[in-house]
Amino acid sequence: MKNVKAQYRRYTRSSWGNFFYFFFLILFGLFSVLPMIYTVCTSLKPLEEILIFPPRFFVTRPVIDNYTALPKLLSNLSVPLSRYIFNSLFVSVSTTVLHIFIASMAAFVIAKVKFKGSQTLFMLIQFALLYNAYTLAIPQYVIFSKLNIIDTYWVYILPYLPSTLGVFLVKQFIDSSIPDALLEAGRIDGAGIFRIYYQIALPIMKPAWLTLALFAFRDIWSMQPAGTIFSEELKMLPNIMSTISAGGIARSGSAMAATVILLIPPIIVYMVSQGSVMETMGSAGIKG
């Protein structure tokens, strides 16, 4: 048995195979990260390098002026910058957390509680995912105004919560990794269905909801609602980008600097969530 364990997964590749394997991975990786590198490079360019013709991709003489100019550029906003930061963090974090709970709870019930119509509901969820979002904007707007949530935090949060992608992802994950037998053990111990969800299923579903967290956070963090938020004090950080870009090409370096700063939170969430998804390797498999 020990022998088999040591040998499984050690399927070897030819040296050419190895070469192409790493060549392809690295090439594709570099190609994918280009826009991010470009953004960082441009944010470090002095004005004369931004205006240079022909344009250069990399920065030759990096400066941090574009970053140090930001506080002054943002000093005359009608609402203090801290308010935008608060709005962005508050809306993104609360929506992400609520979404994870609502979606994973629903997915768990659909997957593991036998009730009439669960199959139909699940098909409905999958098909709703396919409907063109643009066309739904008008009816959704009517609903927002009927509910009186236009120009409140709710209009950011509530419509995102039933995002069907989340339920679909977590349900599929449960189907492939949580056998009924495991829940039966909880039932024999006398645990109610909510406790089984919270204490047994949620920890096993961690890779799924961490992935969902990343996805939701990224979506909401960059959200710029059209026509549903008017009060300046309710707007989020992407909105200050227009204030900076209004300075024209002379400010394009600072606009890039702001873009880089706005990229940091999603990257942190990415690193934390994916780092921890990767960590679950091997331990997540359910025995038996």
The verdict on whether omega for the bond into residue 54 sits within 30 degrees of 0, i.e. cis, is yes
CB 127 within 8 A of CB 119: no
228 binds another protein (CB under 8 A): no
Strands (E), the chain: none
Residues 133, 139: Cα–Cα separation, whole Å: 11
Token pair 């992935």: residue = 211
Measured N-to-C along each axis, helices 81-112 and 164-177 cross at an angle, to the nearest 10 degrees, of 50
Query: Rounded to whole angstroms, how far apart are CA atoms 26 and 13?
Result: 18
Binding of residue 181 to another protein (CB under 8 A): no
- Write down the least CB distance from residue 148 to another protein, Å: 13
Please give the DSSP secondary-structure letter assigned to residue 8. Answer: T
d(CA 163, CA 265): 22
The answer to the question of residue 277 lying near another protein (CB under 8 A) is yes
Looking at residue 196, the DSSP 8-state letter turns out to be I
152 in contact with another protein (CB under 8 A):
no
Closer Cβ to another protein, 90 or 154, answer by number: 154
Number of residues that bind another protein (CB under 8 A): 100
Structural Rg of the chain based on CA atoms: 24
Q: How far is the CB of 6 from another protein (least distance, A)?
A: 10
Rounded to 5°, the CA angle 212-216-221 comes to 150
- Considering only residues 240 through 259, tell me which ones interact with another protein, judged by CB under 8 A: 259
Distances (CA, A) of 79 to 87, 237, 260, 287: 12, 12, 22, 55
**Which range, of 61-69, 70-78, 123-131, 243-251, touches another protein by CB under 8 A?**
123-131
Q: Which of 71, 114, 227, 248 binds another protein (CB under 8 A)?
A: 114
Compare residues 54 and 248 and give the one whose CB is closer to another protein: 54
Q: In the set 62, 63, 77, 159, which binds another protein (CB under 8 A)?
A: 159
Residue with tokens 């022998």, as numbered in its chain: 3
- 25 vs 80, beta carbon nearer another protein: 25
Closest approach of another protein to the CB of residue 18, in Å: 12
Can you tell me which of 7, 76, 82, 231 binds another protein, judged by CB under 8 A? Answer: 7
Q: Check binding of 200 to another protein (CB under 8 A).
A: no
Q: Does 34 bind another protein (CB under 8 A)?
A: yes
Task: Considering only residues 61 through 90, tell me which ones interact with another protein, judged by CB under 8 A.
Answer: none
Question: Looking at 31-39, 70-78, 89-97, 242-250, which segment touches another protein (CB under 8 A)?
Answer: 31-39
Which stretch in 64-72, 81-89, 166-174, 242-250 sits in contact with another protein by CB under 8 A? 166-174
Q: How far apart are CA 102 and CA 51, in angstroms?
A: 49
